[in-house]
Amino acid sequence: MTVFDTNKTRGKARHDWDMKTSLTDRYCKTVTEEGKHSDGGGLYLHVIGERKYWRLAYRFGGKQKTASLGVYPAVSLKEARALAAEKKALLAQGIDPNAARQEAKEEARIDASAAFATVAAQWFENVAKARAWGDKHRLKVRRQLDRHILPALGDMDIRELHPQQIVAFVQGIELTGIPTTAHDCLDLIRRICAHAVQMGIRETSPAAHLKDVLGKVESQPMRHITDPDRIGEILLTLERAQVLLPATKAYARLLPMLFTRPSELRLMRWAEIGGDLWTKPAATMKKRRAHLIPLPRQAVAILDGLRLFTGQHEYAFTNGNSGKPITDGALQRLLIRNGLHDEITWHGWRHTASTLLNEQGFNRDHIEIQLSHADGNKVRGTYNHAQYLEDRRAMLQRWADYLDDLKARALAKESTNKNTNTDTNSDTNKR
């Protein structure tokens, strides 16, 4: 092997690897001669073109081997000598430096994959895609992760996460005066830890049995209305709303009539519609149960009209020619533009329908099944689901007719007020 004596005859080649030589910082900086420039003891600077690499030559198990120590000048001469000393210390212990390095890399890779932040990212991507989260919910979950959970737990090895640490974290959030956020964070941590178990990273979840560690939060009902006159006025406003997309108008008319969860209607597929029956697959439902929704005459008419605009797409309520479902943001803007956002929410129509239908004497089981609320008795729930379809069909038709009547009353009242104002103005002008 050719080396260069940097102490006496620089540039003159010799073939004595074992003879001690010593590089200098200046020489490392200025040398351009390609080849291996020895620092002694197996350490050398390997010049290849314009690049300079630190290498350590050594023997292990009767074989000649080479260990990479980095690139000059990122790794200085002093640092290269220190690294070479570390490799030689391993050799003295009977350890192959290259094998030890590979093992360290593998361990680092495993450690990185077990970081809470890594597992959380995998869970978020997989679940968000599988469940077709709406923009609003996806943003909410992302915000909880980024603002609260990851800054505290992100760098932790999820394999070493203990229940006590989780409890201390969520109770700390609770003490800041945001108990709802604390509950949300605990739920997300529980889901992420369950994902770690599914992926084989942990055998058990440290959050699986964490119950009653947070105080109860009084639920606040969604903004909704129960005054029949006001319902009629709002329905009339939504029907008259100026919108760019036919899907948005159709959605605004259908949701009060069917009172499904807003995301379930927003993600309706044409393949799910058969005549006057909407069959929601279990995978698209919050409770992961198939759900049958009878469609009143008014709903069928609205969907028939909408099919002329979006029938070529998978989703019924599409955002223009993209074929993608309309967004939560677009639906919220509809309420804002019409001054309704402080009074109602789309989810609130479920509360409105439940309240009024119960007041009107409809069977509570029929209402709860239409709302897709879980029945605690699974056998009874299955029976109800099968037996109540026609009962619910009659109930929904009555409800759709009732909403039409409220709109008609609101329109009549509006006309009466206009005529009264006209007569009053006419009398004033005569005087």
Which residues are catalytic, by number? 261, 286, 347, 350, 373, 383
Query: Cis peptide before 97, with omega less than 30 degrees from 0?
Result: no
Tell me which H or E stretch contains 39: strand 35-40
The DSSP symbol for 158 reads G
**Contact predicate 44/38, CB 8 Å:** yes
For the record, the structure tokens of 64 come out as 């000649």
Rounded CA-CA distance 3/21 in Å is 9
* Beta bridge mates, 54: 45, 70
**Contact predicate 295/303, CB 8 Å:** yes
- Which string of DSSP letters, residue by residue, matches 75-95? S-HHHHHHHHHHHHHHHHTT-
Instruction: Name residue, tokens 């029956």.
Output: 277
Instruction: Name residue, tokens 């509360």.
Output: 351
Counted residue by residue, the chain has a size of 431
The 3-state secondary structure of 313-337 reads CCECCECHHHCCECCHHHHHHHHHH
Residue 249 exposed, middle or buried by CB count within 10 Å (0-12, 13-18, 19+): buried
Q: Could you tell me where the DSSP H helices lie in 93-210?
A: 97-113, 116-130, 135-144, 150-153, 163-175, 179-198
- Which of 295, 296, 402 minimizes the C-alpha distance to 357? 402
Sign of the Cα pseudo-torsion (96, 99, 103, 104, in order): positive
* Beta bridge mates, 71: 53
Q: Which residues of 183-221 are buried (b: 16+ CB within 10 A; e: fewer)?
A: bbbbebbbbbbbbbeeeebbeebbbeebeebbeeeeeee
For the record, the structure tokens of 23 come out as 């590089």
Residue 367: Cβ within 10 Å count: 20
User: In whole angstroms, what separates CA 210 from the centre of its chain?
Assistant: 23
The DSSP symbol for 115 reads B
